[in-house]
Structure 1
Amino acid sequence: MSEPSGPAVIVDPYSSGALFAAALAERGIDVVAVLSSEQPPEAYASSYQPADYTDPIVYRGDLTEVVDRLRALDPRCVLAGCESGVELAERLAPLVTPARSNVPGLADARRDKWAMAAAVAAAGLPTIPQICTADVDEVREWLVRSGLVGADLVIKPPKSASTDGVVKVTGGVGWAEVFAANLGRVNQFGEVDDRLLVQRYVTGTEYVIDTFSQDGVHALVDVCRYHKVDNGPYMAVYDTMRWLPETDPAIPVLLAYAREVLDAVGVRYGAAHVEIMHTADGPLLIELGARPHGGGQPRFNRVATGDSQIDRTVRSLAGEPVSADYHLVRHQTCVFHIAPASGVVHGVSALAKVRDLASHHFSIQNLTEGGPVQATRNLVDSLEFGFAILSHPDADQVDADYRVVRDLERSLVITAEHPAPIG
C-alpha cells in the first residue's frame, strides 16, 4: 500500500496549530482545516488565519459526514492543532489515517485529566492523589480516607487548559465553597465544568517535556523549566519559562517518566506536551496535551534549538528522518507579564524599553494607556497582557534582562478608576 499523498488535516488550527500551514506549504503539502465548532474559542480566536485554508470543514455533530469528506482527500494525517481540537482529532484519526493515529481505546486519557491520571496509575506510574466528581460529599469522604483533611489542595476542571479555573486552597480552608462556586462554570472552551478534580497540592520544580512520536517511539524536542508564582489569591501564575540545555541533569529522569506516560495514554504519532512536577519523591504528571506546545512556542523553539514540533511533524509527513533529541544553541527565557491588580493602567510606554534589551528577541504587550487591565490569574491572562522572549548566547545577559523587564513592569500604575464610556 502506498503512502497517502493528500493534505495534512489539522483540527482547530489555532494557537501553535496555526503554524502548520506555512511550514507544510514550504514543502508543497496542502493543509485542510477541520473546525470543531463554528467559531474558535475566544482564547484562540486571534490566532486563527482563515486565509490559510480554502475550504474548512466544520464539524456539526455528524462524525460520519466529516470522515467521508476526509477519506476522499487521501490525507497524510489528522492532527490536533490545539487543545480544543484534541477530542475530535482523536475520534477522526483512527477512522481516516489509522497508520498515523493513537490508541483509540485510550482517547479519553489524552484529554480528560481524570482518565489521564487513571491510565498513568494503571501503568504502575506514580500520580498525584486526586478525585474527580460533582459530589461535594464524595470529596469530603475522600479527604478523610486519604488523610488530606487540612492539607493544601488544588481544585481544577478536568478538561480545560492554560491554568484556566485552577484554584489553590491553602490548608484546605473553604475548599467546599470553592468547589461549589466552580462546579457548573463555563470554561474557556465554552464547556460546562460538570465535574471537578480535587488534588493534593504538590511542590517541586515544574518542567515541560515536548516530544514528537512516530510508531510509538517518543523523540525529545525540547525541555523547559517553568517558574510560577502566586499573584494574590491566584496560584501558579506563570513567571518564566526557561529552555534547558540537553545536558541538564534533571532531563534523563524526566524523559524516562514522560515516555512511560506517553505509552500509558496511548500516544503513537504526533506532537505531545507533557507537564511534570519533579518532587522530592520523583516526577509526577501534572497533565499531558496530545498536540503541540501552545502559545506559539514552536516558533521560539526554533530560535533556541533550531528545531520544533512543527518542523519534526513536517519532516515526518515529507518522508524524511526525524531527530531523536535536541541541542540548545541559545539561552532563552519567556518572561510572562504579570498584573498585580485589575483596574486602569498608566505608564504603558515604559514597556517599550523591553525592545532595547540586549537579549530581546520578541515581545508583545497588549495594553493601551488609560485602558483596562485584568489581574493575572492564569496563562490566558498572561498572554492577553503580553510576554517577552529573551534569547542570547550568554545566560547571564538573559538573567539580567529578565530583572529589567520586572523593574519596567513595576513602573506601571494601576488605578481602580474606570475609563470614561465611549460616545
Structure 2
Amino acid sequence: MKTVLIVDPFSTGKLYAPIFNSLGVRCIAIISSPHLPDHFTSDLVPENFEEIFQWEESLLITLEDIPITAVIAGCETAIYLTDYLTELLDVKGNSRITSDFRRNKFSMQEALRNHHLPHINSRLLSSTSQIPGLLESIDPDLKYVIKPLNSAATEGVVFAEGIENVEAALTNAAWHQANDLGEINLGFIVQPFVSGPEYVVDMVAFDGTFIIASVCKYTKVHKNGSMFVYESLDTLDPGESSLKPLIDYAKLAAAALGIKVGPIHMEIIWSDAGPVMIEAGARLHGGIAPQLFEHVYQPDLLSLSVDCYLGRPAPEGMSAAKHVSHGKIGFFCSDKKHTFESPSDATLICATQDVAYGGHTYFIPPGGTTEVTIDFATCPGLFWLHHPNTEQLDSSAHNIRSLLWR
C-alpha cells in the first residue's frame, strides 16, 4: 500500500487525506511544531489518518521503515520540515537547500534577482537597531510596503508614505512576536510600493514541468485606512492570449524558486513595467479556493496535485487547465466594531437559493465582536459563487452581500 506523509494537514492541506484514502493510499500526519495556534490545529481530522505524529528528530527511525511515496506540505508552516523529510527519506520533492526561496519573503525576491527576473527591491531588517540606517537610504518621495518576513496573507502588512510614516510603521511593528501562524516574526522587509492589478497564478509542478491550474484576479479597495482590504477574487481563463505574459513570467519565477514537485501559489502584480511577483508558497491555494476550482477548471488544482504526488505524469498535451465555468470569492468587510449576529434561517434559505451560490463562512462566532477590516486577517468572512455567466456572478455577489452581511 502506498503511504504519504502530510505535514501540518491544516487549511487546504486537510483536503488531501480524504482523496488519498478514497484511492487506497495510507495517510500519516506530521505536526511540525507544538506551538501551532488552535485555529490551525482544529482543522485536523484524526479519522483521516492511520497515524498522527508530533515531529521530533527521533521520529525518523520510525519513518525510515515505511515506504513513503510522497511528503506533502499542508500549509505554510510545513515548508521547511517537508523539504527536510523529502531529502532524508529519499522522496522526490523540492530541495531543502532552496527552502528559504519558498517561505522567506526576502529570499524569494533575491532568488528572482539572481535569475535576472523582474523582482521587488527589498530591504531586510532583523532588529529595530537597523531602522535609522534604513531611513537614511530610502527615497522620501516613494510609497513603501512594510511586511513581516514569515507571516501569511496580509497579516502585519502596512502601507507607508514618507520617512516619518515608514519609521512609525517599523517602530510599531510586531518585532519578535508570534504571528497568526504561531511562528515568531523573524524580521521585516521594506519594499517600494508596486502598483497595478493583482493576480494569483496556481501551478502544479510535475518534475519541473508546470501545469497552470488557475489564474485569478483580486479586487482590493482602499478602506478603513488600509490599502489591502479584499473585496473579491475572480477566476480567469488561462487560455486567454492576453494572460500569456503573466503566465510565462510565473513559470520562470517558479523555476527560480526551485519548485520541482507539487502545487505553487503565486501572487503577482502586473505593473506598468510588466508582471512582478509579490510572494509565493509551495502549497495549495488557501481558503475555499480549491473547492471552488472544482467547479471552474478541468482538471482542477487539487486533483492535479494528487496526481503529481502519486507519481502520475502531467496531462499529455496540456499546459493549462480548461476554464469550464466562472467563479468568484467575495469577502465581507466590517467598517466598525460591532457584535456579530447570524442571519435568520429565512435569510440563509434565501441566500442558498441564489442560482450561483456555492457556500459561505464566517470567521467569528455569533456574539463575537468584529474587528475593523484592514486586511485578510481581519476579514470577518467570505462567500463563493460559480456560474457560466459572469453577469449573473456580479448580480449574485450583490445579493449575497446584502443578505449575509449587515
Say whether the fold is shared (TM-score over 0.5). Answer: yes
Alignment CA distance shift 1:303-1:104 (3 Å): same
**Residue in 2 that maps onto 1:75:** 68
**Residue in 2 that maps onto 1:377:** 374
Letter in 2 for 1:152: K
In structure 1, the gaps of 5 or more residues are 413-423
Quote how far apart the aligned CAs of 1:347 are: 7.6
Find the aligned partners of 2:8 and 2:342 in 1 and give their Cα distance: 37
**Residue in 1 that maps onto 2:156:** 165
Letter in 2 for 1:327: K
Whether the 8 Å contact between 1:152 and 1:172 is mirrored in structure 2 is no
SS in 1 for 2:399: helix
Alignment CA distance shift 1:152-1:11 (3 Å): same
Matched, 1:252 2:247: no
**Aligned to 1:180, which of 147, 171, 178?**
171
Quote how far apart the aligned CAs of 1:346 are: 5.2
Matched, 1:358 2:350: no
Matched, 1:397 2:389: no
* 1:221-236 alignment, distance < 5 Å: 221-236=213-228
Alignment CA distance shift 1:35-1:316 (3 Å): same
Whether the 8 Å contact between 2:351 and 2:404 is mirrored in structure 1 is no
SS in 2 for 1:268: coil
Residues 330-339 or 304-313, more deviating: 304-313
TM-score, scaled to structure 1: 0.88
Matched, 1:265 2:257: yes
Residues 37-46 or 161-170, more deviating: 37-46
Whether the 8 Å contact between 2:26 and 2:50 is mirrored in structure 1 is no
Find the aligned partners of 2:163 and 2:384 in 1 and give their Cα distance: 36
**Residue in 1 that maps onto 2:272:** 280
Quote how far apart the aligned CAs of 1:238 are: 1.5
Matched, 1:114 2:106: yes
Residues 367-376 or 211-220, more deviating: 367-376
Find the aligned partners of 1:104 and 1:340 in 2 and give their Cα distance: 43
Could you report, residue by residue, the CA deviation over 1:18-77 in whole angstroms, capped at 9, with x for unpaired residues?
Answer: 0000111111111111111236423423422122123212113x2xx2333222111111
SS in 2 for 1:150: coil
Matched, 1:133 2:125: yes
Find the aligned partners of 2:256 and 2:359 in 1 and give their Cα distance: 37
Matched, 1:57 2:49: no
Find the aligned partners of 2:137 and 2:242 in 1 and give their Cα distance: 34
Could you report, residue by residue, the CA deviation over 1:87-125 in whole angstroms, capped at 9, with x for unpaired residues?
Answer: 111211111134x11133211111111111111110101
Find the aligned partners of 2:130 and 2:242 in 1 and give their Cα distance: 37
TM-score, scaled to structure 2: 0.91
Find the aligned partners of 1:47 and 1:234 in 2 and give their Cα distance: 30
Matched, 1:311 2:308: no
Find the aligned partners of 2:210 and 2:59 in 1 and give their Cα distance: 29
Percent identity, please: 27
SS in 2 for 1:175: helix
Letter in 2 for 1:358: V
Could you report, residue by residue, the CA deviation over 1:253-277 in whole angstroms, capped at 9, with x for unpaired residues?
Answer: 1111111111111111111101111
Alignment CA distance shift 1:74-1:188 (3 Å): same
SS in 2 for 1:341: coil
Find the aligned partners of 2:259 and 2:132 in 1 and give their Cα distance: 34
**Aligned to 1:195, which of 180, 187, 194?**
187
Quote how far apart the aligned CAs of 1:142 are: 4.3
Whether the 8 Å contact between 1:114 and 1:197 is mirrored in structure 2 is yes
Whether the 8 Å contact between 2:21 and 2:48 is mirrored in structure 1 is no
In structure 2, the gaps of 5 or more residues are none
Task: Name the Cα RMSD after superposition.
Answer: 2.2
Residues 37-46 or 276-285, more deviating: 37-46
Whether the 8 Å contact between 2:328 and 2:384 is mirrored in structure 1 is yes
